[in-house]
Amino acid sequence: MDETKTYYFVVRAFDTNGLESADSNEVILNEGIPVNQFPIYNINSDGRNDIGCFIATAAYGSLIEPHVKILRNFRDKVLLTNLLGKGFVKAYYTYSPPIADFISKHDHLKTIVRLSLLPVVGISWIALKIGLLLTVASMFFFISCCFTGIIWFRRRYNK
């Protein structure tokens, strides 16, 4: 294994009858060291020893799809580094499995969810590149510019 790369592992077992197990907990290795030390197993409210299926994974169809990787990196590097983010992740793991299961069974819904996730993926990517604080500040600046432009346009052309 190349220690300069990040590897994601999930295991699924099959028995001789073709029955399969649920996916194992994801393990992330970066430079040979496990990255996700936050215990994501047993986080469901019913005590199951899995985290179910993520909405993005259900929509994109793969744990290694680039959009899913961005969201996973955002979870690991931003959300799981603070108390509020950990609470969000715990709630997400509690309530998302049935939603993800429903999405995975409906192709048209997958498309809608993928399109709906694009802004979230984009903001997550920006936050990973420039930091969360600068991303939030940039978003407020952009929204302020939009509102200022709308107000200016209305004043100028409503005379």
Q: Which structural domain, as residue segments, surrounds residue 102?
A: 6-157
Q: Is residue 1 part of a domain?
A: no
Q: Give the integer Cα–Cα distance in Å for 37 and 147.
A: 42
What crossing angle do the helices spanning 66-77 and 107-130 adopt, rounded to 10°?
50
Structural domains counted in the chain: 1
Name which residue leads in pLDDT, 46 or 78. Answer: 78
Q: List, for residues 85-138, the tens digit of each pLDDT value.
A: 889 988 888 888 889 889 988 999 999 999 999 999 999 999 999 998 898 899
DSSP category for residue 28: E
Helices in 23-65 by DSSP H: which ranges? Answer: 55-60
Is the model's pLDDT at 45 over the cut of 50? no
User: Which residues partner with 34 through β-bridges?
Assistant: 29
Q: Is residue 28 part of a domain?
A: yes
Is the model's pLDDT at 13 over the cut of 50? yes
Question: 144: which 2 tokens?
Answer: 């302020």
* pTM of the shown model: 0.62
pLDDT band at 19 (very low <50, low <70, confident <90, very high): confident
